[in-house]
Structure 1
Amino acid sequence: MSEQHTAPSLARIREHLMAWTTGTPLPDRGTGAATVLLDDPAHLDALLRGGLADPQGVIFVPGAGTGDPRIVGYDGSPAEPGGELSVNDEFYLQIQDYAAAAFMVLVGPTLVTVGNTDDFRYFLADADRARSTGGFPEFAIAGPVRLANLPGLGAGPAGDGPDRRLHVDADGAVSTSVAGVRIGTVGDGPAALRDAWLRRNDASDAPCAVCLDGAVDETERAGAVAARPWLGRYLAAIASLRTLNANGVADLRVSGFGGRLLAPLEGVDDPADQPGTPAAVLLWTAESGYLHLPATNRSFALSLAAARLAEALLVCGSVDAAAAFADHGKLLQVATFFADAGVRLVAAEPVAAGDGR
């Protein structure tokens, strides 16, 4: 019996395209790359024969689609700043380079790309400014805007790789993005591509070492990212601000960027929420606190008092350590509430005093 494929909806097409451009994983992991974009349809047969694409995934091919519902036609290019990529004359994605984005009014779905070393340095300057002052670039937190290739900007390679997304250029060279370094050819099998991707990442001081290596000097990129272990938090903060702003919450501040809601926490050495991409981001306004989970796009509204307790738990990493800044019983109550909601604010399960566990 032949395998049945269903033509993807426009919403699913958009979901796959945005996951492919940003380097964020889709929830359902299949066999092979979930999303593939070809620069030349001449490589489609080799791609399908080699088993590089997930049978339930989406393959973007220039021009019109084919009888295979997995294959979606597109026009334009995701690699040309100032250009546009369109699908079925229904979805249009503008492409803009990072250096110019700050000076433009971005209307509609827009992908901001780091296409060269200057773009990367502008990105770092904005991140450093946000870290010290709490001011984030307005274009980056706008609702329809996404940054391309987040793994290479500090989010790390988790969820990325050739079994998630692929780009096949006009010569048949394969990478994970249009800005990426070659890891093989369209004739290589999935195992060979995966091995090449892993080797490059294993040799890097700051993965992901593939998705930007065709555009940014890898030595400079790796050094800059390694020196800023909080870049994953910065990217998560951008996603959190974007979501909350889109839901009508304005004038937000982000914990760890320009200060803390609970001011004494600013003196904590090696805060637990510094490295990597956090599970939760603590934000606040003059009236309310918010805990946002970028991975699931889930938000909790809190009183400022509860937000201070949650922040202490995130920064200190445990109820006991946070008790130097707030009441132990109240901290335990907040930690337990979120644990019961499936959100862990501390490294270990909260334990009541005298519980004995």
Structure 2
Amino acid sequence: MDTTGVGSTGPGTAPAGPRTADRKRLKDHLISWATGAPLKGAPGPGVQTLVLSDAAHVPAVVAAGLVGPSTLLLAPDDGTGVPAPAVGYEGSLTEPGDELSNGQDFFLQTHSYASSPYMTVFGPTVVRLTDRPDFEAYLADADRALTDGVFPDFLLTSSVVLADAGALGGSHHPADGPSVRLYADPDGYVSTTPTGAVLGTVDDSLDTLTRRFAELGPDEAALGAVVPQDIRDQALRSRPFLPRYLKAITAMRILMAHGRTGLKVSGFGARLTPELAGAAADLDDAALPLVVHGDSGTYMVISGRLFAVRRETARALECLLAAPERVTALVPAAELDVLDELLAQHGVRLNPLQAVAA
């Protein structure tokens, strides 16, 4: 991702007034800010993306050392400009149903999770859990996908990003934290996300905020202001399939963006192999490969990468995951050899008697 363009250059180096970020840079930073995935490139001093709810806090975050040469510092612009080195924005990144604009050619919508099925997506959109009903709606959608194979249409739209999926059963990026993203509310309290637990204030240093983040953990830092930790932990523990559910959504989004139709995911209310119709899948291990099949092809997700494969190879993997004790009766030995070679190329070993990701 491009991290060049308008950056912070320190206090007082430019007059207050309209400052802009090019469309790609703004989009890259805001996706990183919503998901916790850091931007590419060597990290520098300061936060990669820092969003303020009040431009009056610009001097404080600069004085605290939160703003570095490559930081994108965003502050609301009421039409009179924002203090340097901030970039002004119009609208909101936190209010469901609102949108952020750079005043030129970029718009980013924010939807609450529960309202998303009823909203029209016009462009880049962040879907965020904003309260307990949103969390319950997310869990209900995941449960329905597991039993019926029906995934939420809005999450399969290529322009939609689910915020903070790592706190919803997905994988946190190991670099996520205050050095990647911060949000300051109107009162100057700072968190990594608008829905996360408070880490400190706009006067605190990055080291102080990072220590607090480490104490809380990434889940609480992302969603602590929305769902109590004990409730979230219990819900996720009772649904060990959630990591694979989120991986399935990612794979389907990619395939649908390339025109693939009729997509189904093995173990989520569907089977490619008729003999496995009643078999329970091993969905507890997020590292295991996924099988996706549609009207015009079959695919595997292996170690985070998506591949088109022969139908026979996909069936072999499905059998190995869902019914390892029956695999030799369902799959020709030659096809298992082909599968084993393919998986080995990506560092995955599956034992016919016990599927284990290496």
* TM-score scaled by length of structure 1: 0.81
Question: Structure 1, unaligned stretches of length 5 or more?
Answer: 202-206, 349-357
Distance 1:141 1:19 in 2: 19
Among 8, 12, 15, the alignment partner of 2:28 is 15
Among 287, 290, 293, the alignment partner of 2:299 is 290
Query: Is the 8 Å Cα contact of residues 24 and 150 (structure 1) preserved in structure 2?
Result: no
SS, match of residue 181 in structure 1: coil
Amino acid at match of 2:294: T
1:1-357 equivalence runs, <5 A: 6-7=5-6, 9-28=22-41, 30-31=43-44, 32-53=46-67, 55-63=69-77, 64=81, 68=85, 71-159=86-174, 160-201=176-217, 208-262=219-273, 271=282, 274-276=284-286, 278=287, 280-292=289-301, 298-312=305-319, 326-340=331-345, 343-346=346-349
Q: 1:29 to 1:283 in 2, by over 3 A?
A: farther
Distance 2:139 2:130 in 1: 14
User: Cα distance, 1:256 vs. partner?
Assistant: 2.2
Aligned residues: 330
Q: Which moved more, 1:306-315 or 1:252-261?
A: 306-315
Distance 1:66 1:324 in 2: 70
User: Cα distance, 1:283 vs. partner?
Assistant: 0.7
**Which position in structure 2 is the counterpart of 1:352?**
none
Q: 1:293 to 1:334 in 2, by over 3 A?
A: closer
Distance 2:125 2:153 in 1: 14
User: Cα distance, 1:293 vs. partner?
Assistant: 6.4
SS, match of residue 108 in structure 2: strand
Q: 1:51 to 1:316 in 2, by over 3 A?
A: farther
Q: 1:279 to 1:51 in 2, by over 3 A?
A: farther
Query: Is the 8 Å Cα contact of residues 240 and 294 (structure 1) preserved in structure 2?
Result: no
Amino acid at match of 1:120: F
Query: Is the 8 Å Cα contact of residues 302 and 343 (structure 2) preserved in structure 1?
Result: no
Distance 2:115 2:214 in 1: 33
SS, match of residue 55 in structure 1: coil
Query: Is the 8 Å Cα contact of residues 314 and 346 (structure 1) preserved in structure 2?
Result: no
Distance 1:187 1:294 in 2: 41
Distance 1:158 1:266 in 2: 35
Amino acid at match of 1:117: R
Amino acid at match of 2:268: F
User: Cα distance, 1:166 vs. partner?
Assistant: 0.9
Query: Is the 8 Å Cα contact of residues 239 and 294 (structure 1) preserved in structure 2?
Result: no
Query: Is the 8 Å Cα contact of residues 77 and 83 (structure 1) preserved in structure 2?
Result: yes
| Alignment deviations for residues 332-354 of structure 1 (CA, whole Å, 9 cap, x no partner) | 433433544xx344379xxxxxx
Distance 1:223 1:244 in 2: 32
User: Cα distance, 1:20 vs. partner?
Assistant: 0.9
User: Cα distance, 1:152 vs. partner?
Assistant: 1.9
* TM-score scaled by length of structure 2: 0.80
Distance 1:53 1:324 in 2: 62
| Alignment deviations for residues 54-100 of structure 1 (CA, whole Å, 9 cap, x no partner) | 532322222246664xx432111111111111124211111221222
User: Cα distance, 1:292 vs. partner?
Assistant: 4.1
Distance 2:192 2:31 in 1: 14
Amino acid at match of 1:49: A
Query: Is the 8 Å Cα contact of residues 262 and 308 (structure 1) preserved in structure 2?
Result: yes
Distance 2:259 2:199 in 1: 43
Q: What is the root-mean-square deviation of aligned Cα atoms in Å?
A: 3.1
**Which position in structure 2 is the counterpart of 1:204?**
none
Distance 1:321 1:264 in 2: 10
| Alignment deviations for residues 109-143 of structure 1 (CA, whole Å, 9 cap, x no partner) | 22222110011101110110001111001122122
Distance 1:187 1:251 in 2: 52
| Alignment deviations for residues 190-229 of structure 1 (CA, whole Å, 9 cap, x no partner) | 222222112222xxxxx61221111223322221112212
Question: Structure 2, unaligned stretches of length 5 or more?
Answer: 7-20, 352-358
Query: Is the 8 Å Cα contact of residues 260 and 295 (structure 2) preserved in structure 1?
Result: no
SS, match of residue 219 in structure 2: coil
